[in-house]
Structure 1
Amino acid sequence: MTASLPQASAPIAVQRRRRLSKVEQARGQQWDAVQRGRYFRRKYQVERVLSTVMLFAVAPLILLLIVLVRLTSKGAGLYRQRRVGLHGETFDVFKLRTMRADAEADGVLRWSTKGDSRITPLGAILRKTHLDELPQLWNVAKGEMSLTGPRPERPEICEKLAQKIDGYYDRTAVKPGITGIAQINLEPDRTIDDVRRKQCLDLHYIENAGLWLDLRMVMATVMRMVGIRGTTVMRWMKLCRRDVLEAQGLLPEDGHRGGSTDCDGVPVVAATSLRVDRPRHPK
């Protein structure tokens, strides 16, 4: 009587399928990365042309706002500040001034907060309508920024945040944007946990960027500029990313959120430990 052979073929076949599955998965991930790279390259090319056209269209408004800023408070109407961009390279971002000229005379960088006394009356309006960001169309036209993407941060603040948040510089894998998914979903940063939440959404955007998502983000930002509530905008544009934060265990306990914001400093809880020397001739 012939002994039956061990049934080794089935496990081997299963192992082969598993190996092939892993290879296919890796290839799929590589393909997705290639496709995203192609999308971002094309996106940047189109945005440079589009932002140039937009800049000419809004130039009279920007000039008018510069004059109004100068007339209503001491200091220049337009200012530039070093920010961290693509792959950690720094560049000068342009903005309309919304704070007093001596806002950081003590050398301490702080997040701007609600009711911040450093913000001028006109500056509060510019921030609420996000018109202070219009000069950044010039940064997009120069190829330093994008219309959509993670918001750029100041170099000295990035260094401090990178010490507290693992992979903080991963957000510089793409060009910084005038508006971002994190700003649409979240309030201004108040704590280091708020920064972690925005980091999470920034990386989510990088992994899922596409034309339709970018168009919705731009439309959502325009809606916010004309005064439509953030929760309404997120519902209409289907931009709520609560599930992303919840999956990472980063959902705020109090459920707070907000609209677009720009950070001119660091979280209040860390402000005392983030004193920096101001340059003698700031750009």
Structure 2
Amino acid sequence: MSPAAFETFATLLKTQSGLVIGTDKIYLLETRLGNLLKREKLNDLNQLAEKLRQPANDRMARDVVEAMTTNESFFFRDDKPFVHFRTHALPRLVAARPPGSTIRIWSAASSSGQEAYSLAMIIAESRAVLGDRKVEIIGTDIARDQLIRAREGLYSQFEVQRGLPVQMLMRYFRKEDSSWRINDSIRSMAQFREFNLLSDPRSLGRFDVVFCRNVLIYFDQPTKSRVLGGIAGVMPADGLLYLGGAETVLGLTTRFAPLPAERGVYGVVAAATGAPAGRMAAAV
């Protein structure tokens, strides 16, 4: 692949998805764009790059971005964030929100839906705690094929074996041939929308809790700061942000601060005190 072709792909991915790739990732371009080359009857990535540089290439550009997006996801991934959400975040929000109110949760870069549905299962098992408060779960992703999968709620045997407790599999899924479909009561709790994290999240509304896990690692520093600033702008003073174990807000934004003794959990910083509201609430 020529340097000019690589630059075409790198620029497209950076501007349209925030994904940053170096020349050490050429093998990923070759691997993930192979099917697109076959579909378009192109010989190599140089020809694909040439087509991308032509006018009216929006559909192909989107196909390239979707093919290059990492869609790794599984139920209750890493477990600890979900334990914290169940045992700390939900009780705290219930104490702070009046009866009849709505708690909103955002699963950003939700891929095929496992994270959003993991949260939905926790909510389903926490009805006694919630009382008559409503919960809305919004999953967003840039990849349309993954959104279709999320809405269908159909998973392979391999996918349900990755992190999903067997009792939850039996309670919330039904067998369909060699696959498993999540039941309608859980599926109806999560909505999935197309959304690019480089866009303004205010179009999605405000959120009490945001899961944006294992996403920032693919962005450069300015893009990370921009995304975190946008998320902070749609959260209340006592909101909670969950990031991946290898991600941090340090050096990127002053809008969030880590909760003490909690890895990957961040509270919105109160402007007057410079301390996260989550820290104060956690001590209640």
User: Which TM class, normalised by the smaller chain length?
Assistant: under 0.3
Q: TM-score, normalised by structure 1?
A: 0.24
Between Structure 1 and Structure 2, the one with more strand by share is: 2
Between Structure 1 and Structure 2, the one with more helix by share is: 1
Q: TM-score, normalised by structure 2?
A: 0.24
Larger radius of gyration: 1
Q: Which has the higher contact order (CA 8 A, sep 6+)?
A: 1
